[in-house]
Amino acid sequence: MEIVERAVEKMNRIDADWLREFDEAMRGYFVIDHAEAGMDERELSWYADLPPSDAALAYGREFDLCRVDTFWPSPGLRHTT
């Protein structure tokens, strides 16, 4: 049983670089990071196979987060009429 528990624990570890980039993407899209979103290591592991930016967008879609650029477009972007 110990071997199985170790294997599961090893699979659930999140790469620190990936997590940093995921948090940067989350802050850029939704102005929160994983901790503020209440994500634990188990939830992070659901998205860890995606690139950080894609993972942040997937999380936002799944949990219906409102993107910051919905109300405040990024600088340099112009609305076309």
Q: What percent of the chain has pLDDT over 90?
A: 62
- Listed residue (33, 43, 36, 58) closest to 12, CA to CA: 43
Give a yes or no: residue 25 inside a domain.
yes
Domain of residue 36 covers 2-68
Give a yes or no: residue 19 inside a domain.
yes
* Residue 27: partners with Cβ closer than 8 Å, 6 or more residues away: 33
Number of domains in the chain: 1
Give a yes or no: residue 30 inside a domain.
yes
d(CA 34, CA 77): 27
Given a cut of 70, is residue 43 above it in pLDDT? yes
Give a yes or no: residue 33 inside a domain.
yes
d(CA 81, CA 72): 17
CA 22 from chain centre, in angstroms, equals 5
What is the pLDDT averaged over residues 3-29?
76
d(CA 1, CA 5): 6
Give a yes or no: residue 21 inside a domain.
yes
Given a cut of 90, is residue 62 above it in pLDDT? yes
Give a yes or no: residue 29 inside a domain.
yes
